[in-house]
Structure 1
Amino acid sequence: MTTIIHRKNPAEQIHVESPPSDAPIEKLNDFYWTDTEEPHAQRRKEILKKYPHVTKLCGPEPLTKYIVCGVVALQLSIAYYLRDKSFFSWRFFLLSYIIGATANQNVFLAIHELSHNLAFKKPLYNKLFAIFTNIPIGIPYSASFQPYHQLHHKYQGDEVLDTDLPTYYEAAVLSNVLGKAFFATFQIFFYALRPMFITQIKFTYIHLLNVIVQFLVDYLIIKYWGFKSFLYFLFSSFLAGSLHPCSGHFIAEHYILDPPEHYDRHTDAPPPETYSYYGILNFFTWNVGLHNEHHDFPYIAWSKLYELNRIASEFYEPLPKHDSWIMVIVDFIFDENVLLYNRVRRESKREKLEQMKKSVYSI
């Protein structure tokens, strides 16, 4: 059970059930509102009915922890190498952009895998290992990511609970070329800070441990290697969520880049709201490009998503997909028909939340 604070009524706490950690419009002024349910649950039922054996793909991938250790070691090694190099040198920038940003995007998405408990069988081990994985990011992140991300999966498009959606203020201010360029450049800050302004997740001992471990490592790096090594972590994290090829996945996953000319929520089916990508950059990003597959089966690890796609190919082949994350960023910025409003949005099930809240209080 997760406790959040309603953004329209901060004095009121709402209790919602997030997925168990160990479970096997109008153009220019509104989002694409729909009264339909999100598509993944229904497609999952259809796939399971036809291919029940796909459940065998679910579960942890032991290889994950070894890859993570290698990436963290790589980032520590480069941070040490850059300890006495100028931040304003081409060497510092190129290493940060080419290797650091790619590696930290890998780290971000490794934490994503761990949030679904796909490295270890026990949820606690995944949480603790995520704190270790967090080290090259430079700021504590892993503990907060999991509850917000679980809500994104269970309540996709929900106006209150899905913090992946842009707010009205973002959409109104940034739906122009300069605004979208700003968003794409600094999107790491939007994804990091937006959830805290919309819903507040209860602070736990895992959050505290994440903060203590990260700040301790940061202190030791600054003390023994110097501030430039720490700055390499921060700069790599920024670039990983900025104008970098791998960061295209943030936009590619759920933004509607080919919006319909006319849309009526009462008569038209909503546009596709999740998009996959099958290109080479999946190699560096834990196959996160297979995003329809991931949302359909969140407990299938990165290493088996292509197998899911092969087994249920007739379900995935007709779905719209992206060929290039780089072009996703370019089209997002320069296409006048692509706005921050281009997301499918659902009214929050207030009555259901109230009933859930009452049932919790009655226990």
Structure 2
Amino acid sequence: MEQSPTLRANMKSSSNPAPVKQEDQEDQFFWSYTEEPHRSRRMAIIKAHPEILKLCGPEPLTIPLVLAVVGLQCTCAYLLSNTPFWSWRFWLTAYIIGATANQNLFLAIHEISHNLAFKSGLANRLLAIVANLPIGIPYSASFRPYHLTHHKSLGVDGLDTDLPTAFEAFFLDSIAGKAFFCTFQILFYALRPMMVYQIPLTKIHALNIVVQLLFDYVLIQSWGGKAVGYFILSSFLAGSLHPVAGHFIAEHYVFDRASIENKQARDAKNRIPVPETFSYYGPLNLLTYNVGLHNEHHDFPAIPWTRLWKVNEIAKDFYQDLPYHRSWVGVVWQFIMDKEVGLWCRVKRKEGGRKVGAWKEEEIQN
């Protein structure tokens, strides 16, 4: 990604420890030498608004919603079982209903990974396996440790698998490359973690795999291969050029033009780093467990989706000046078409964080 004159000037003139670009031209990520911002903001919010901690805890409404969406997807799979795969009816249903539903299930698993459906850790793991069924490929057990590490190690190179690698950023640094990334980003998010580091396999991983394969086998035997094909196509489209897939890019890429321009205007003595998490306040949150409230979620991952709006209301003074997105579709369009935006636009740090989630078998019970 080519740096703009404004961006270069910002990086050279700032005297604070905010993220700066490394001199190595082969590595153009924003490198930060401060801790991730969410822990310090969380402590400041708790100090100013201690009542916010009352919002923490499970949200039982997640359970029937998961079951309803799983039922919806199974109904669609059954109704399409005799429909040709290469037909407008099959693909349109998969794009409009299937992709939206499976993105909803991706984000249900995201909620459940924080133990926000049941109080019991094991019950949450089992519900995640149920939510995984219409996705077609077992992944819920593996998602949890990688995602929890993302929270504890935000931006840490070699730990946060949400970060693109330098290899990806270099080879996809063009409009065509970014369009390819956005089209196939679900594959990047599925395969990249295994390339960064391997997680230990546990009994819950084995259960996730066995249940999913058995479910797929029964489905094929009962309704034919097109039913499973519908599930997998829905999952692919959910992470492709689809409105709800915009959240993958919107959450942590530093490309909001207001963020870059405003950074120059800020007093360097304030020592305010470049924002590295962005919220989205728009209607698609209704379909995605409020994942758009991403600053709020990273600040308080123990608060469920139904109460994240209250975080913003209670601590409005902490969020009102943070840059945010109004459109996930607009995010994807700008990401692809703006030559100053790309996979390099992520904040990275060399140190800090830790691996969490599945490193001990007994953590299943926590």
| TM-score, scaled to structure 1 | 0.87
Q: Does 1:331 align with 2:334?
A: yes
Inter-CA distance 277–349: structure 2 relative to 1 (3 Å threshold): closer
Q: Does 1:89 align with 2:87?
A: yes
Q: Which amino acid aligns with 1:341?
A: W
User: 2:288 pairs with 285, 290, 305, which one?
Assistant: 285
Instruction: Kindly state the Cα deviation for residue 89 of structure 1 after the two structures are TM-superposed.
Output: 1.1
Instruction: Kindly state the Cα deviation for residue 270 of structure 1 after the two structures are TM-superposed.
Output: 3.5
SS in 1 for 2:81: helix
Q: Which amino acid aligns with 1:65?
A: I
SS in 2 for 1:120: coil
Instruction: Kindly state the Cα deviation for residue 253 of structure 1 after the two structures are TM-superposed.
Output: 0.1
Count, aligned residues: 327
Q: Is the 8 A contact 1:276 1:321 kept in 2?
A: yes
What aligned pairs does 1:20-35 form with structure 2 within 5 A after superposition? 25=21, 29-35=27-33
Q: Is the 8 A contact 2:173 2:343 kept in 1?
A: yes
Aligned-partner Cα distance in 1 for 2:304–2:352: 30
User: 2:181 pairs with 180, 183, 193, which one?
Assistant: 183
SS in 2 for 1:216: helix
Aligned-partner Cα distance in 2 for 1:307–1:231: 40
Aligned-partner Cα distance in 2 for 1:180–1:270: 26
1:127-173 residue CA offsets vs partner (Å, 9 max, x unmatched): 01100110000000100000000100001000011000000100110
Aligned residue in 1 for 2:351: 348
User: 2:274 pairs with 271, 274, 277, which one?
Assistant: 271
Aligned residue in 2 for 1:46: 44
Inter-CA distance 286–249: structure 2 relative to 1 (3 Å threshold): same
Instruction: Kindly state the Cα deviation for residue 301 of structure 1 after the two structures are TM-superposed.
Output: 0.1
Q: Which amino acid aligns with 1:346?
A: R
Aligned residue in 1 for 2:192: 194
Q: Is the 8 A contact 2:35 2:352 kept in 1?
A: no
Aligned residue in 1 for 2:248: 250
Q: Is the 8 A contact 2:153 2:352 kept in 1?
A: no
Paired-residue identity, %: 58
Instruction: Kindly state the Cα deviation for residue 339 of structure 1 after the two structures are TM-superposed.
Output: 1.5
| TM-score, scaled to structure 2 | 0.86
Q: Does 1:304 align with 2:307?
A: yes
Q: Is the 8 A contact 1:257 1:338 kept in 2?
A: yes
Inter-CA distance 278–28: structure 2 relative to 1 (3 Å threshold): farther
Instruction: Kindly state the Cα deviation for residue 269 of structure 1 after the two structures are TM-superposed.
Output: 4.8
Runs of 4+ with deviation above 2 angstroms: 26-29, 258-263, 266-270
Aligned-partner Cα distance in 1 for 2:197–2:300: 25
Q: Which amino acid aligns with 1:326?
A: V
Instruction: Kindly state the Cα deviation for residue 257 of structure 1 after the two structures are TM-superposed.
Output: 1.2
Q: Is the 8 A contact 1:270 1:344 kept in 2?
A: no
Consecutive unaligned residues in structure 1, runs of 5 or more: 1-24, 354-363
Aligned-partner Cα distance in 1 for 2:27–2:49: 42
Aligned-partner Cα distance in 2 for 1:107–1:208: 20
Aligned-partner Cα distance in 2 for 1:189–1:83: 25
Q: Which amino acid aligns with 2:94?
A: S
Instruction: Kindly state the Cα deviation for residue 72 of structure 1 after the two structures are TM-superposed.
Output: 0.2
Q: Is the 8 A contact 2:243 2:328 kept in 1?
A: yes
Q: Which amino acid aligns with 1:108?
A: F
Q: Does 1:241 align with 2:239?
A: yes
User: 2:211 pairs with 190, 213, 222, which one?
Assistant: 213
User: 1:150 pairs with 145, 148, 153, which one?
Assistant: 148
Instruction: Kindly state the Cα deviation for residue 175 of structure 1 after the two structures are TM-superposed.
Output: 1.3
Q: Which amino acid aligns with 1:293?
A: E
